Structure 1
Amino acid sequence: MRFRYAEKDARMRTHTRLRRMLVASGAAVLAALVGATGPSAAAPPPADAPAWHVGIPPLATKWTGNVGPDNALPEYPRPQLTRDKWQNLNGVWEFARASAGQAVPAGTSLAERVLVPYPIESALSGIQRHEDRMWYRRTFTVPKNWGVGSGQRLQLHFGAVDYDAKVYVNGTLVATHRGGYDGFDADVTDALSGTGPQELIVWAEDLTDATGQPIGKQRRTSDHGIFYQGSSGIWRTVWMEPVPTASIDGLTTTPDVAAGVVKVTVAGGAGLTVKAVAKAGNKVVGQATGTAGTELRVPVPDAKLWSPDSPYLYDLQVSLLDGTKTVDSVGSYFGMRQIGTARGADGKLRIALNGKILFNLANLDQGFWPDGLNTAPTDNALKFDLEQDKAMGFNAVRKHIKVEPDRWYYWADKLGLMVWQDMPAANTGPIPEAWRGQFEAELHEMIREHSSFTSIVAWVPFNEGWGEWDRAATGRIADDVKAQDPTRLVDAHSGVNCCNSHGDSGRGDVIDFHQYLGPASPAPSGDRVAIDGEHGGFGLKTSNHMWFGDGQAYEMEPDKATLTAKYVQNQQDVITSAKACGISASIYTQITDVEGELNGFYTYDRQVAKMDLKQVKAINQKIIAQADGSAANLPQPPPGTPGLTGVAFWPLDGTAADAAGSHDASLVGGAAFVAGKNGDGVQFDGTGYLDAGAPVLNTATDYTAAAWVKLDRADGAFQTVVSQDGPTNSDFFLQYSGADQRFAMSFAGVRALAPVKPNPGQWYHLVGVRDTVKGELRLYVDGELAGTASACMPQGGPTGHTVIGRGKYGGNPVDYLRGTVDQVHLYDRALSAAEIRDLYTSGA
C-alpha cells in the first residue's frame, strides 16, 4: 500500500506541474473563447466570461501540453477531398448539461467551457465527466470573401458526434444525425442571419452501453479490464467551407491494377461534366472526362504499385464543369494496389497483395488516449502509433472496433500499413432487434466513407460474436459487405472460435481464430484464407505509467528482457503456424497499454517502450520473409504400435494396473471403484483422479486416447476424461466442454466438438485422435466421427503425467470429472475410422 500511495503522489505532482505549465505558458489563450484556423470565426468573449481550463489526466502524453484553444487539431480534416477555402471551428465552446425535452438555449450563454473536439469525459475537454445529454454553443462569422449568398453555399461539417445529434444555426434546426463514428454535413446558408456573428448550437445524447448502439470498447464505467472510459459528444473536427450551388459532394476512387486505371466517381453536380486528372508529382499520367455520377476510368499506365515497402500515392485533381466553365474543383489522391488471394508452393490459399503472397503482420490498435480518450491530442500523436508499427517491422494494423478520423487512414496510406478495419461492436450480447437495422446502416456507412483509402484491405463486421444475433444473419451481412465492396477481403467474424460467436457462417473470405497466448492456427479451407485474428497479450507493469496504478494482461512478465523473450518466441511460433497451418496474417495484442490492459509495446501514455524494439523488429522481419507460402517440411509420424490394445490399457477391473505396459496408475482423492461399462470402472466425485505417474504419449507425433464415460451431470462446467499434463496446459483434453455442453477432443483454444449434448447417466465411447499429417483433431462418439478441428501446429514432447479424471490449465489442475470411466486405451498412432468402430463394437 505504501508503494501505491507513493506512486499516486508522484503522479499527482506530475499532473500539477503539467497544469502549471499549461496555465503559465498561455493564461490569456486559455481564457479565449474560440481557436480556429484561418480568419477569426467568433466574436470576442465578454470580459467576465468563464475560462476553459484543461483537466488533469490520470496519465499525460508528451503531446498533452501542446494542446490549447488556438491549436485544437488545426489540420485540414478531409485529405481525400480538399478545398482551399475552409475554416476550423475547433476551440473553446460553451457547454452545459442538457435534459430530455429541454428547449434550445438560443441566445443564452452556457455556464461551462469545453475544448472541441475532445470528448467531454477527457481531460483535454476541460469537462472530464460523463453526461447523457449535453448542449454545445458558440458563434462564428462567415468571411466576406467567401461570397455566401451570391451563388455560394455554406457547408458545416461534423467529423463525428457521439451519439445522437441535433444542430441549430440561429435557432433553426439544420441537421439531425444518429451514429457515433461517421460524419455528417449541413447546408446552413438559409439559416444565416445577416453578415455578423452567427449562433451555432449542438445537442448531443450518448447513453453508451445502456442502449444497443455501436460503441466499440466504450463503457460509462470502466471495468479496469478490456473495456474503457466512454467518449461522448463532439470528438472529431468541426469545420465549414463555401461551396458552389452545384458542387462536388463526394469522391470515390477505386484502383484497377489489372486494367491499369483508377475508377473515379463524383457525387453531386447532377448533369454537369467531370474532369479527373491523375498526376505523379507534376507529371500528368492520365485523365478522363464524363458525366457526374458515372464511373470515369482514368488511365494509370505502368503504375507504381502501392505496398508497405513502397507506399506510392498519386495526386488527383477533379473539376466540375458547366460547359467550359469550372464550377468546382477539389484535390485528392489514390494508390494503385490490389488485395486478393493466391496459392503458395504448399498448395494453401493465402492473402496476396498485387498478385504476390504477402503475410499481413499486424498490431492490434484500440485508438484510445489517456488525455483525449477517443481523440488523439494532436495530429503528430495520431501518427505516432502508426510510425511505431512501421519502425517495429509490422506491415499491417487491425483497427479494433473503432473508426478513426480520416487523417489516421491518410497516415496509414502515406506510411504504408495495410489496415484491417473493424465495425465498432455493440454490447457483447446479441444486439436488440430494434437496433439491428441501425448497426447494419452504420456498417455500410463506415464502408462508404472509407472506400477510397488505399491502406484498408479488409472489413470486419463482427468481433468474437459481440452483438451477433444469428449465424445466418452474420453470413448475410458478410455477403452484403462483399457486394458493397468486392475489391477488399471480408472477415465475417474475427475470433469465430471465441466467446460469444455463434459459429462459422461459412461466408466471407477469411477464417479467423483468436487464441491467447497463441498464436491461433486455423487452416485455409475452400476459397477462404485463414488468419490469427488476435494472439499474444504478454504484459509488464511500469511504475508511474499505469492508468489505475495497476492492471492485468493475459500473462504478466517480471521485466523487459523476459517480456521481449516471450514475444520473440511467440512470434517464432507465428512462422510455424504460417508454414504448418497456412495462416496468412497474425495480429498481436497490442501497440500500447490501454487503461487496465498492460499488454502494449508502449505504456498507455506512449512514454516508455516496454520491449527491446530491435529484437521485435528482427523477428517481425523474419516472419514476413519466411511466411511466404513455402512448404513446411514437417516430419512424418512413425507407424506406431499395431493392434487395438495400445501402449497403455487400464481395464479398471478393481485395480488401476496397466494391462498393456508398465504405467500402473494411482487413485488420488475422490476416486473409487464401482460397477462400470464392462466389469468395474472408476467413479470420480469432482475432486479425485487417476495418475499414471509418468507421461505415456509422445505428444510430438500422432496419438489416440479412448475411454468409456458416463457423466453424472452435463452443465456449464468443463470435465476432463483423459489428458496429459503439459508445462502450463494439458497437452490434450478428451473432455466434456462445459462452454459448448458437448463432448470434445481439445487443445487449449481448439475443440473438435460433438454435434449434440450428452445425457447424464448414459454410457458413451469417446475416442480422440491427433493426426499430424492432416493437421487436425478428430472426435469419435460411439464409433462414429462426431467432430474435427484444425490442429496443425506441432506439439512439443511430453513433460507431465498422463491423468484420468482431470485436466490442467494455466498451471493449475482443473476440470475434474463427475462421473464414471472404464476401459481407457492410449495409442502411439492415429487410429483409423475402421479401427475405432471395431474398438467400440468390442465394448473393450
Structure 2
Amino acid sequence: MRGEYPRPEFRRERWCSLNGEWGITLGDQTCTIQVPFAYQCAMSGTGVSGAYDAMRYFRTFRVPEEWNGSRIILHFGAVDYRSQVFVNGSLACSHEGGYTPFSADITPYLTGGEEVLEVRVWDPLKDETIPRGKQFWAGDPAFIWYTPSSGIWQSVWLEPLDEAHIEGIRYDSDVDAGLVRIRFNLSEQCPLPCRLRWQIRVKDEEIYEGGFISRERNGEFAVDVFHNRILNGSFHYSGLCWFPESPTLFDVHTELESDGQIWDSVDTYFGMRKIHVSEGKIYLNNRPYFQKLVLDQGYWPDSLVTAPSDEAYREDIRRAKEMGFNGCRKHEKAEDPRFLYWADRMGFLVWESMGSFISYTHQAASAFVREWCGLIERDYSHPCIVVWNVLNESWGIPAVSHDPEQQAFANAMYHLARSLGGNRLVISNDGWEMTETDLVAVHSYRHGERSDAGMQERFSRGLCSVEGLADIMIRKPFAKGYGYKGQPVILSECGGIALAPEGGWGYTSASGAEEFLAEYQRIIRAISRSGMIQGFCYTQFTDVEQEINGLLRPDRTPKVDPGALRQINDQIETML
C-alpha cells in the first residue's frame, strides 16, 4: 500500500490514508482492488483482463473520533478520467481530468459511524479527444503506445480542517534581489483580521521569523533571504541557490491564528531558482547551464503509471544522476507530486508534461486548457520544474504546420503557461512544427546505424546550424509563418538505441554493451562538437513493454555500466 503523505509540498500533521483494499465493479465482475493502482496492473490485485470504460469503486471508512468538530475533506490525487464521488449515497463532487487533484468537503454527508464511499469513473478508451498520453486506445500495446491505466491512480486521503484555514501558499523566488515573494490564500470562513506567523529555515538555521495581521483573505509579502551577502547568491559558487549539484531548500512553517487560537499550521518549502535565456544559451541562476536530460515515461511493469512505492521515485532519480544526467523530460505524463518532491530534494531538473489528446476538436482543446491550468496550480512552487512542455510532436494538433486555428491554439497554450506558470521556460510544441516558443526543441533519431557513415556525418552536420536541422528531422522545425528568433536549441529527443536481441524495438540497435557505449559516445560527441546545441534528452530511461530503447530494463537493472555512461556525459561541461 502507498502510505506516504501524498502532498509533500503542502503538509499538515493530521491526515488519514484511504489507500489499500477497496471493492471494484467492472462490467459484470466485482472484486477487490488495491488503491491507488489501476485495475489493468498486477499490483492492483484484480486479476481482471479486458478493457472497461466504466468503473465503480466502493469502500467503508470511519472518521477518527479526535477529528470531531472539524470539517472533513476528502482528497483524490488523480483519477482518470471523469469521476463522481458519493458519500453515503449523496453526490459529494464531480471532476473531469486524469492528471489533476480534486477534493470535497464531505462533512454534510457523514453519519458519525461507518461511512460508505463510492467513486464512479468513466474513462472511454477509444475517445481520442481526452488527454491520454501514451495509453493505447486500439488494443494490445504497440509501437510507442502502452497499456492504459484507468481510474484511481494516485492516493486518496482524508484531512480534518477548521472553518478557518490556509488554502494555499505560493513562492516566487527573485534570485537577483535575493528575495522570495510569498502569496497566501485563506478560507472564506476565516475571521478577519487574523494573524499569520512564519518561520523560515535553511540548512538547520533560522533565517526569518515574523508575523503580521492580515485584513484580507489573499495577500503577498517578501522576505530577504540572501541578506545582501554575495556568497549567498550564485555570483561565486552556488550560494543558497537551487542547483541540481546543490539543491538548497528553505523550509517554511506557517501558522494561522485568531483570538489567541491556532486554527491551522502548514509546512511548505521553496528553492531560490531562476531560469532564463539569452543570446542562444540557457541560464540557471544567471550561469550558463547545459541540460543533460533523460526521457522518462514514468511506467513500471507491475504498476504501470503508479510507482510501486515512494522509494521507487527516489531510486529513479538516484539512478539517473548516477548515469550523469541532471534532469528528465517527463513524457506525456503529469507525474505524482511525490516524484517532484524528491526531484526538489535531490536536485533534478524536470520538464513538466501532461498527456496529450490525439484528435483536435474545440471540446478537446478546452478540456486540455482546463487541465493544464490545474496542473500549473498544483506544481507552481516546485523549483525542480524549469520547463512547461505543453504539446508534443503535434499530437492533438496534427495540422499545426499550416492551419491558423491549430497554430493559434499552440500559441494560446504558450502564452497561458507563460502568464500563469511563474519563472519557467515554455515550449508550445516539442519536437517540430513549433510556433511561439522559448526553446527550439527538436527530435531526431537520424544518428545513423553503426555501418552508415554517410548518415552519421549528416547527423553531425545537421546539429551545427538551425538551417541544418531540417536535414535530420522527419518534419520541419517550424510551422508555416514561424522561424528562428535566436532561442537556445535543445535536442530534446535523440538516441533510442536498443540492445539486441532482447526483443521489441528501438530506433537503432547495438549488439552488446561495448557497442552500445560506442554508439552512445558517438551521439554525445556530435552534440558536444555542434557549437549550437545547449542540451539534450536521451531516449530513454527504461524499457517500457515492447519499447526496449531504455538505458535500464523495466525492473531498473542497468544494461550497461552506469559509471561508463557518466564518464561520457561528463565530457560535456554542465556550467559552461
Aligned-residue offset at 1:379? 1.1
Q: Distance in 1 between matches of 2:515 and 2:200?
A: 51
- Give per-residue Cα distances to partners, 1:395-454, cap 9 Å, x unaligned: 111011101111100111111111111232112xx4222221001111121111111111
Task: Give the SS at the match of 1:218.
Answer: coil
Out of 167, 174, 199, the residue aligned to residue 277 of structure 1 is 199
Task: Tell me, yes or no, if structure 1 residue 138 matches structure 2 residue 59.
Answer: yes
Aligned pairs (5 A) from 1:614-629: 614-625=563-574, 628=576
Out of 329, 333, 336, the residue aligned to residue 398 of structure 1 is 329
Q: Distance in 2 between matches of 1:213 and 1:315?
A: 38
Residue in structure 1 matched with residue 434 of structure 2 by the alignment: 504
Contact 1:423 1:459 in 2 (8 A): no
The residue type equivalent to 2:437 in the other structure is: G
- Give per-residue Cα distances to partners, 1:530-568, cap 9 Å, x unaligned: 11110110101465xxxxxx3000012111111111111
Q: Is the alpha carbon distance of 1:266 and 1:422 closer, same or farther for their aligned partners in structure 2, counting shifts above 3 Å?
A: same
Aligned-residue offset at 1:326? 2.1
Residue in structure 2 matched with residue 757 of structure 1 by the alignment: none
Q: Distance in 1 between matches of 2:540 and 2:429?
A: 19
Contact 1:247 1:327 in 2 (8 A): yes
Task: Give the SS at the match of 1:381.
Answer: helix
The residue type equivalent to 1:532 in the other structure is: L
Task: Tell me, yes or no, if structure 1 residue 320 matches structure 2 residue 253.
Answer: no
Residue in structure 2 matched with residue 597 of structure 1 by the alignment: 547
Aligned pairs (5 A) from 1:321-400: 321-343=257-279, 349-400=280-331
- Give per-residue Cα distances to partners, 1:570-621, cap 9 Å, x unaligned: 11111012x2xx2212100001011111111111122x31122222101111
Task: Give the SS at the match of 1:285.
Answer: strand
Residue in structure 1 matched with residue 151 of structure 2 by the alignment: 233
Aligned pairs (5 A) from 1:729-740: none
Find the structure with the greater CA-based Rg: 1
Q: Is the alpha carbon distance of 1:432 and 1:525 closer, same or farther for their aligned partners in structure 2, counting shifts above 3 Å?
A: closer
Q: Distance in 2 between matches of 1:540 and 1:78?
A: 38
Out of 289, 292, 300, the residue aligned to residue 225 of structure 2 is 300
Task: Tell me, yes or no, if structure 1 residue 177 matches structure 2 residue 95.
Answer: yes
Aligned pairs (5 A) from 1:384-533: 384-427=315-358, 430-468=359-397, 470-496=406-432, 503-505=433-435, 507-518=436-447, 521=463, 523=466, 525-533=484-492
Q: Distance in 2 between matches of 1:433 and 1:116?
A: 34
Task: Give the SS at the match of 1:445.
Answer: helix
Task: Tell me, yes or no, if structure 1 residue 123 matches structure 2 residue 42.
Answer: yes
Residue in structure 2 matched with residue 216 of structure 1 by the alignment: 133
Q: Distance in 2 between matches of 1:265 and 1:456?
A: 19
Q: Distance in 2 between matches of 1:440 and 1:472?
A: 13
The residue type equivalent to 1:334 in the other structure is: F
Out of 54, 75, 80, the residue aligned to residue 9 of structure 2 is 80
Task: Tell me, yes or no, if structure 1 residue 573 matches structure 2 residue 526.
Answer: yes
Q: Is the alpha carbon distance of 1:287 and 1:465 closer, same or farther for their aligned partners in structure 2, counting shifts above 3 Å?
A: farther
Contact 2:501 2:511 in 1 (8 A): no
Q: Is the alpha carbon distance of 1:323 and 1:355 closer, same or farther for their aligned partners in structure 2, counting shifts above 3 Å?
A: farther
Q: Is the alpha carbon distance of 1:98 and 1:317 closer, same or farther for their aligned partners in structure 2, counting shifts above 3 Å?
A: farther
Residue in structure 2 matched with residue 820 of structure 1 by the alignment: none
Contact 2:322 2:563 in 1 (8 A): no
Q: Distance in 1 between matches of 2:195 and 2:320?
A: 42
Q: Distance in 2 between matches of 1:111 and 1:400?
A: 33
The residue type equivalent to 1:255 in the other structure is: S
Q: Distance in 2 between matches of 1:295 and 1:559?
A: 57
The residue type equivalent to 1:474 in the other structure is: A
Q: Distance in 2 between matches of 1:475 and 1:268?
A: 33
Aligned-residue offset at 1:324? 4.3
Contact 1:542 1:603 in 2 (8 A): no
Aligned-residue offset at 1:508? 2.4
Task: Give the SS at the match of 2:243.
Answer: coil
Out of 75, 98, 113, the residue aligned to residue 32 of structure 2 is 113
Aligned-residue offset at 1:288? 5.3
Name the stretch that deviates more: 445-454 or 314-323.
Answer: 314-323
Contact 1:288 1:298 in 2 (8 A): no
Aligned-residue offset at 1:323? 4.8
Q: Is the alpha carbon distance of 1:224 and 1:605 closer, same or farther for their aligned partners in structure 2, counting shifts above 3 Å?
A: farther
Aligned pairs (5 A) from 1:517-666: 517-518=446-447, 521=463, 523=466, 525-541=484-500, 550-577=503-530, 579=531, 582-606=532-556, 608-625=557-574, 628=576
Q: Is the alpha carbon distance of 1:327 and 1:542 closer, same or farther for their aligned partners in structure 2, counting shifts above 3 Å?
A: farther
CA RMSD of aligned residues (A): 1.9
The residue type equivalent to 1:471 in the other structure is: Q
Contact 1:561 1:612 in 2 (8 A): no
Out of 199, 208, 218, the residue aligned to residue 116 of structure 2 is 199
Contact 1:517 1:537 in 2 (8 A): no
Q: Distance in 2 between matches of 1:234 and 1:278?
A: 35
Aligned-residue offset at 1:287? 4.3
Aligned-residue offset at 1:289? 4.2
Contact 1:492 1:510 in 2 (8 A): no
Residue in structure 2 matched with residue 16 of structure 1 by the alignment: none
The residue type equivalent to 2:102 in the other structure is: F
Q: Distance in 2 between matches of 1:280 and 1:247?
A: 25
Contact 1:266 1:274 in 2 (8 A): no
- Give per-residue Cα distances to partners, 1:381-407, cap 9 Å, x unaligned: 122221111101111110111011111
Contact 2:77 2:155 in 1 (8 A): yes
Contact 1:162 1:204 in 2 (8 A): yes
Q: Distance in 1 between matches of 2:256 and 2:269?
A: 17
The residue type equivalent to 1:245 in the other structure is: E
The residue type equivalent to 2:381 in the other structure is: S
Larger RCO (CA within 8 A; separation ≥ 6): 2
Q: Distance in 2 between matches of 1:85 and 1:73?
A: 17
Runs of at least 5 residues in structure 2 that lack an aligned partner in the other structure: 233-239, 401-405, 448-458, 467-482
Aligned-residue offset at 1:527? 5.0
Q: Distance in 1 between matches of 2:80 and 2:312?
A: 22
Runs of at least 5 residues in structure 1 that lack an aligned partner in the other structure: 1-71, 100-109, 344-348, 497-502, 544-549, 629-844
